[in-house]
Chains A and B, each alone.
Chain A
Amino acid sequence: MNTMSSRQLTHLFHLSEDQIDDVLIGDLTAEPAAHLKQCAECQTRLEAAKAPMASFATVSMAWSERQSATAPITLAQAANSAGQRRANWVATVTAMLLVAVSIPLTMREKHTQVVASDTGVSTPAKPAAVQQASNNAEQAQVQPVAIVHHEHPAAQLAQDNEMLQAINRELDASVQSPSDNFGLMAVGGTAAHGRNAPVQTWD
């Protein structure tokens, strides 16, 4: 007979308070929304319900803008100083760590060099990570010593041998041996004992 659809029923009844709240919240279903479009009374009720929140949003924003304008904050400086503080802190910690690692390594290196030079034992190779970590400190403190004693050892030996032979030749020419007075002859036919014997070299 005269059965009315739910859509037609919806149009007959105004929105409830909860439905008005749903509109304000942004959660209105389709049918009340359809009624709202056509019902001037419900639209007026909705505007009245919206008004306090709209006023609050406007006035509070005006207040906040005023606050922001009258009390500007220097955030850029704060951010920069915070960044600077962080960078300084990182640099300090890195420097301290570097010093803390390099000092014991340097001392150990020097100790090892002394022992090695005394005993003739070569310094054991350091692990790669340790070598890398102590590299800077060693460049400043250890390397000058290393250059004198260990760089080009073959050349150093050859130079020393040459110097010893030169001294030997000079002695041969200028200094008379006491054995010369006795006319002693070496077994090999030389004039003095060991005079022309080859200088023992360091190999």
Chain B
Amino acid sequence: MQLALDVTMSNVQVVERSSSELDDIDALVRTYRPRLLRFVTFSIGDPDLAESITQDCFLKAYNGRDKFRGDCSVNTWLTSIALNLIRDQQRLQKFRFWRQARATAIDVSDAANFLASHESSAEARILAIERTEQVQAALANLSVNQRAIFLMRFAEDMDLSEIAATISMPINTVKTHLHRALKAVRAEVGR
């Protein structure tokens, strides 16, 4: 009984903390923008459009913060909003996204300079960039859902149930998408 009460109290505290977190838009942006921008950018392949969608996502989250029930993390909630915005954008763009966006593709080669130099050697950083570009190339050939699910798993580090809830799919469908995406990525990397 006491344990159940404690669990309920901790849930209430989590909801309250998350709600107050959503009230401060500056803190919200500071905390979640890099992750969200990455998810959107590598989902659609267009950095400029990703900036715009990310901003819309934060505005939508802030204006709709009363609807946040606290049954998932703020990051998961933001990701689901971003996913809906990406889908809206896809409908507008008639699925022209990624292939057309290749002309203005994300250049991660500069990112080698942003990696902490004390954590890895120059060779390791170059290898990391090379692998990233390979994954990026593989992502371009994935379906929209495969790409989103892959990013949620391997970039956002979300578990299967979280991904299924965010993308509103059965968990077995999520697994199928992940298996296919992984095979494609590993094939690209193994070339």
Give the shortest distance, in Å, between B133 (CB) and chain A (any CB).
9
Is there an interface contact between A58 and B115, defined as CB atoms closer than 8 Å?
yes
Is there an interface contact between A53 and B135, defined as CB atoms closer than 8 Å?
yes
Is there an interface contact between B37 and A56, defined as CB atoms closer than 8 Å?
no
Closest to B154 in A: A53
In the complex, B105 has a CB within 8 A of chain A? no
In the complex, A13 has a CB within 8 A of chain B? no
Number of residues on chain B facing chain A (CB within 8 A): 47
Q: Choose one: B29, B38, B159; the contact of A64 (CB below 8 Å).
A: B38
Q: Identify whether the interface residues of B are mostly helix, strand, loop, or mixed.
A: helix
Is there an interface contact between B182 and A66, defined as CB atoms closer than 8 Å?
no
Whole-angstrom distance between the alpha carbons of A73 and B48 in the complex? 13
Interface centre among A52, A55, A64, A67 (most CB of B within 10 A): A64
In the complex, A189 has a CB within 8 A of chain B? no
Contact with A along B101-130 (1 / 0, CB 8 A): 000001010111011000000000001110
Is there an interface contact between B135 and A68, defined as CB atoms closer than 8 Å?
no
Contact with B along A76-91 (1 / 0, CB 8 A): 1011001100000000
In the complex, A62 has a CB within 8 A of chain B? yes
Give the shortest distance, in Å, between B141 (CB) and chain A (any CB).
15
Q: Choose one: A57, A68, A71, A75; the contact of B154 (CB below 8 Å).
A: A57
In the complex, B69 has a CB within 8 A of chain A? no
In the complex, B169 has a CB within 8 A of chain A? no
B residues neighboring A (CB under 8 Å): 25-26, 29, 33-35, 37-38, 41-42, 47, 51, 54-55, 58-59, 62-63, 106, 108, 110-112, 114-115, 127-129, 131-132, 134-136, 153-155, 157, 159-160, 175, 178-179, 182-183, 185-186, 189
